[in-house]
Amino acid sequence: MSGDKLVVDTNIIIYHLNGDKTIELLLMGKKLAVSFISEIELNSYPDLSNQQREVIQYFLSLTEIVHSNSYIVAEAVKIRIGKKLKTPDAIIAATALVLNLPLLSADKRLAGTSGLDLITYTPAN
């Protein structure tokens, strides 16, 4: 993984917060950008304790949260039409495309998205 900045998908953040050491190494020294969609998904995760919510808030405070704009919307529409992805996944991919940054994700359905620099993570079982 080259460069010092990347967009991380919600699943990567969850792996990281659950102690995945490989993700920790991949993220070390990187500047992270997160779609507002990931912020929503993380904060609405069911049955979180107050401590878990605090950890999520701390992690998010260390990232750049990217909000929607007309460019992200246009890219998300193209991705959704072309790949038949769910809207949240299309928005996260579009965020990486518009920012011209790699996207680190465990979601293999994103593979083949035109123009997307996808770094696919396969968690150890």
At residue 3, the pLDDT reads 73
Residue 35 lies in a domain: yes
Q: Kindly give, in sequence order, each residue whose CB lies less than 8 Å from that of residue 84, ignoring residues fewer than 6 positions away.
A: none
Q: Model confidence over 51-70: pLDDT tens digits?
A: 999 999 999 999 999 999 99
Confidence of residue 125 (pLDDT cuts 50, 70, 90): low
Q: Report the amino acid identity of residue 63.
A: T
At residue 123, the pLDDT reads 84
Which pTM does this prediction carry? 0.93
Residue 105 lies in a domain: yes
Domain count, the chain: 1
Cβ atoms 100, 4 nearer than 8 A: no
CATH code, domain with 107: 3.40.50.1010
Residue 125 lies in a domain: no
Q: Model confidence over 2-29: pLDDT tens digits?
A: 579 999 999 999 999 999 999 999 999 9
Range of the domain at 10: 5-120
Confidence of residue 124 (pLDDT cuts 50, 70, 90): confident
Distance CA 119, CA 110 (A): 10
Residue 63, helix vs strand vs coil:
coil
Give the E-state strand segments of the chain in sequence order. Answer: 5-8, 31-35, 64-66, 103-105, 118-120
- Chain-centroid distance of CA 35 in Å reads 6
At residue 1, the pLDDT reads 45
Residue 32 lies in a domain: yes
Cα dihedral 119/110/92/71 (nearest 10)? 110
